[in-house]
Structure formats: C-alpha cells, structure tokens
Amino acid sequence: MYNYVIVGAGLAGCVLAERIANVLNKKVLVIEKRNHIGGNAYDYFNEDGILVHKYGPHIFHTNNKKVWDYISNFTDWYHYQHRVLAYVDGQTVPIPINLDTINMLYNANFTQNQLKEFFEKIRDTKEEILNSEDMVISKVGKELYEKFFKEYTKKQWDLYPSELEPEVTARIPVRTNRDGRYFTDKYQGMPKHGYTKIFENMLNNKNIHIMLNVDFKDVIDDIEYENLIYTGPIDYYFDYKYGKLPYRSLRFEFETLDCEKYQEVGTVNYPNDYDFTRITEFKHLTGQKHYKTTIVREYPSSEGEPYYPIPQKKNIEQYKLYEAEAQKLKNVFFIGRLANYKYYNMDKVVEESLKLFYQNIK
Ligand code: FAD
Ligand code: UDP
C-alpha cells in the first residue's frame, strides 16, 4: 500500500518523492517509463568517460533563493556561467545581443549610450506585443530580428516567431552593456557530480520505491495507493479525449572528437545555417578535463519524445480543457513541464513542485 504513486522520475517527480518521503515519512512508488531516473535532466558518462546530457544541455540558473537552497541540499556546485555565440554573417558573435555583438557585426565602435540611441532608431515601436516577432523587433528592429531570431525559431518550432506567444523570444534579453552571459540570474552553476547524482540523492530513502521501464497505465490498476502525482503529458493521461496536444521534439546527434577542445564557448547557435539549431560542447559546462571532447547537435523534429510544449494560443486553449478535467479529480495532482504544458526551466519546476507539496500534499 502506497500513500503516493508518482508517475515520472524527472525533476518534478523526484522533488515530490523526496519531500513526501522525508518530511511526511510516507510511502512513495515512483513509476518511470524510461530506463533511468532524472527525466530530461539525466546525464551520464559516455563510453569515452565524458559526462554528457542525454537530452541536451542543462544549466541550472535561478533568482529564487529557496529553490537554490533546496537543490543545494543534494549537490555541491561547479561555478559555471553559460556563454553562447551565434554564427551570423560569417562570424561568431555573442547572443543575447549586447554591445560587443553590435560592434562586431557592424564593425562599429559604439559606446553604451550610442548603442541605446541606435536601438531607439532601429526598433519598431509597438503598442502591443502580440507575438514573439513583436517581442524582438520592438527592441532591436527587423534586421537584427532576421539575423538572429527568424530562422532559428522556424527551425526550432517549424513556426515563425509571429506564430508564437511573446514568451518564447522573451527568454532572450537584449543588452546595451558587454555582459556576455546567457543567464544573469543570481544563482547559477552546474552540479559538481552531475544531475543524475542529485536525483539519486533525492530518491535515496527507504520510503521510496522505484519502478523503471514501466508505463504507469500498464500497472496502475494492480497497485494499491491513496494519491497520484502525474508528471507526464497531460493529454496522454486523459487518453487524448480533447485531441493530441502538440509538443516539439529534438534529435540529438552526439560526436566525440580526438581533440581537447572543439569550440570557444559552451554553445554555438546557428540561426541561418544547417539543419541543427546549436552545438554544445559539454566540457565547457562541466569543467571536466579530458584529452577528448564530446559535442551534441540538436535537430528539431515534430516526431519523437515530447520536449517542448508549443506556446501558441490554440494549444493553450486546448490545454485548458485538460486542465479543467484535471481539477475535477480528487487525489490526483498534475505537475511539471509536460503535465502543466508550460515552457518551464528547471528552477520553475522545482518552485512549482515545492509549492504543490507545501500547499496540497498531506
Ligand atoms: P521531465 O523531465 O520530462 O520528466 C517527466 C518524466 O515522466 C520523464 O522521465 C518521462 O519518461 C516520465 N513519463 C512520462 N509519461 C510517463 C508514463 N506514461 N509512465 C511513466 N513515466 C512517464 N532547464 C533549465 O533550467 N536549464 C537548461 O539549460 C535547460 N535546458 C534544456 C534543454 C533541452 C533540450 C530541453 C528539452 C529542456 C531544457 N530545460 C532546461 C528544461 C528542463 O529539462 C525541464 O524544466 C525539466 O527537466 C522538466 O522536469 P519535469 O519533471 O517536469 O519533466
Ligand atoms: N532564439 C532564437 N535565436 C537564438 C536563440 C534563441 O531565435 O539564437 C529563440 C528561439 O525561438 C528559441 C527561443 O528563443 O526557441 C528560446 O531560446 P532558448 O535558448 O531559451 O531555448 P531552449 O534552451 O529552451 O531550447
């Protein structure tokens, strides 16, 4: 007899399992359909001994001290601040767009104030930001939008920014200073011994049992339990009764090279060239020393594992039909990026999971 069954051993599932087992001292069964814990943040040492992220590069960053303190119970940190370059007009320049980006791109020598004036001149003023195109051109105008955002977004989502909610490109700020970091959050870093170690530490409790390689629908009728926490795709839970919710997928192509270093920074984005969106070299992120190096190319795809909810009005409306069904259920809780159909970063998943625990789980 379990007090809680948790579907999914990703970040949301692990946080809740840990809290329920440790704080409430209750019995938890975690059911995971993959052959490992950790969800999309899972990492492992590949055959050459290099630590890689199976589902694409993950960097932890947050402004929420509670979230940072909570995760810090399960890991020490390697101090890392992510840097990304974009390959544009034959050279690699910093993204988010900043003072250096513009000076390199236009072979200019702007000061910060001159750049502010430049942006004022080139930006399109918008009364209302209706979509992800408006979001960018209201800050930097059409030309920079086309160089950095238009085709990257088309590749990533198979949609133009004008077809996506503003939140998608709002993730990438525009700066007039020389700050070349991808994230400016107060707390950022990489887990010193990898993400999987965090999940192992969270689940290491006699109250927690884990079943891997099992879809919950195949076993749930045979399990005795009081409450269910579901972190998978919400449309699957309800047998697609309101139709399939669109999720975007990726194909990851890993390559290990016989050299110590492949590129200058952790990630290089390719908005206008190739079928992949970006290349990440893991050793930059993890600080690992090794005579070889592993990179991953991300090829967006409509088929495959659901990685991204697609932020479009019609999808959000469709999700709301499922959400209303979910709210009618007693003793069933929906949490996480797939179950809430939200483009959450890891810190937001932790925040929402802790909120659910402290408000609703007894
Ligand atoms: P998931 O990690 O998806 O976990 C859900 C789990 O449920 C999965 O393991 C799945 O197999 C399991 N499951 C689903 N259905 C069933 C079923 N029927 N039966 C049993 N098990 C089931 N966030 C950051 O903060 N920083 C980053 O740098 C970052 N980079 C990212 C890069 C990529 C390419 C992607 C895709 C995401 C990135 N994220 C990043 C987001 C991060 O991955 C998510 O916020 C987080 O992992 C979501 O956790 P979750 O538990 O909600 O979902
Ligand atoms: N984006 C872009 N060009 C870039 C980087 C990002 O157009 O060089 C847009 C694109 O639509 C992308 C979104 O901004 O999907 C969010 O980028 P982020 O790097 O946060 O994506 P994630 O790491 O979640 O895949």
106 lies in the same domain as 145: yes
> From the CA of 216, which ligand is nearest?
1
Residue nearest to atom 38 of ligand 1 (CA): 58
Q: What is the pLDDT of residues 1-48, one digit of tens each?
A: 999 999 999 999 999 999 999 999 999 999 999 999 999 999 999 999
Query: 38 CB under 6 A from ligand 1?
Result: no
Q: What is the pLDDT of residues 69-122, one digit of tens each?
A: 999 999 999 999 999 999 999 999 999 999 999 999 999 999 999 999 999 999
Query: 167 CB under 6 A from ligand 2?
Result: no
Buried residues in 69-85 as b, exposed as e (16+ CB within 10 A): ebbeebbeeeebbbbbb
Q: How far is the CA of 332 from the centre of ligand 1 (A)?
A: 20
Q: How far is the CA of 156 from the centre of ligand 2 (A)?
A: 8
Q: How far is the CA of 264 from the centre of ligand 1 (A)?
A: 28
Which of 140, 170, 200 represents a domain boundary (last residue)?
170
71 lies in the same domain as 16: yes
Q: What is the pLDDT of residues 324-352, one digit of tens each?
A: 999 999 999 999 999 999 999 999 999 99
35 lies in the same domain as 160: no
232 lies in the same domain as 162: no
Q: How far is the CA of 219 from the centre of ligand 2 (A)?
A: 38
The tokens describing 136, both together, are 């960018």
- Top mutation candidate among 83, 88, 93, 171 for ligand 2, by most atoms within 8 Å of CB: 171
Cis peptide before 96 (omega within 30 of 0): yes
Residue 29 has a pLDDT of 98
Query: 313 CB under 6 A from ligand 2?
Result: no
211 lies in the same domain as 348: yes
28 lies in the same domain as 103: no
Query: 58 CB under 6 A from ligand 1?
Result: yes
Q: What is the pLDDT of residues 194-216, one digit of tens each?
A: 999 999 999 999 999 999 999 99
Calculate what percentage of the chain has a pLDDT beyond 70. 100
> From the CA of 42, which ligand is nearest?
1
Residue 130 has a pLDDT of 97
Query: 154 CB under 6 A from ligand 1?
Result: no
Residue 17 has a pLDDT of 98
Q: How far is the CA of 199 from the centre of ligand 2 (A)?
A: 27
54 lies in the same domain as 9: yes
CATH code assigned at 43: 3.40.50.720
DSSP string covering 212-270: -S--HHHHGGG--EEEEEE-S-HHHHTTTTT-PPPEEEEEEEEEEESSS--SSSSEEE-
- Top mutation candidate among 169, 268, 296 for ligand 2, by most atoms within 8 Å of CB: 169
Comparing C-alpha atoms, which of 74, 63, 56, 41 is closest to residue 337? 41
Residue 351 has a pLDDT of 98
199 lies in the same domain as 345: yes
Q: How far is the CA of 110 from the centre of ligand 1 (A)?
A: 41
314 lies in the same domain as 223: yes
* φ, ψ of residue 216 in degrees (nearest 5): -60, -30
> From the CA of 348, which ligand is nearest?
1
How many structural domains are present in the chain? Answer: 2
Query: 344 CB under 6 A from ligand 1?
Result: yes
User: What is the overall mean pLDDT for the chain?
Assistant: 98
Residue 13 has a pLDDT of 98
Residue 140 has a pLDDT of 97
> What's the mean pLDDT in 287-305?
97
Q: Say if residues 233 and 306 touch (Cβ distance below 8 Å).
A: yes
101 lies in the same domain as 76: no
Residue 27 has a pLDDT of 98
Query: 187 CB under 6 A from ligand 1?
Result: no
| C-alpha pair distances (Å), 292 with each of 218, 281, 345 | 42, 11, 30
Residue 135 sits in which domain range?
96-170
Residue 270 has a pLDDT of 98
Which of 142, 170, 198 represents a domain boundary (last residue)?
170
CA 109, distance to chain mean position in Å, is: 35
Query: CA angle, 200 as apex, 197 and 203 as ends, to 5°?
Result: 150
103 lies in the same domain as 212: no
Residue 33 has a pLDDT of 98
- Top mutation candidate among 85, 87, 105, 172 for ligand 2, by most atoms within 8 Å of CB: 172
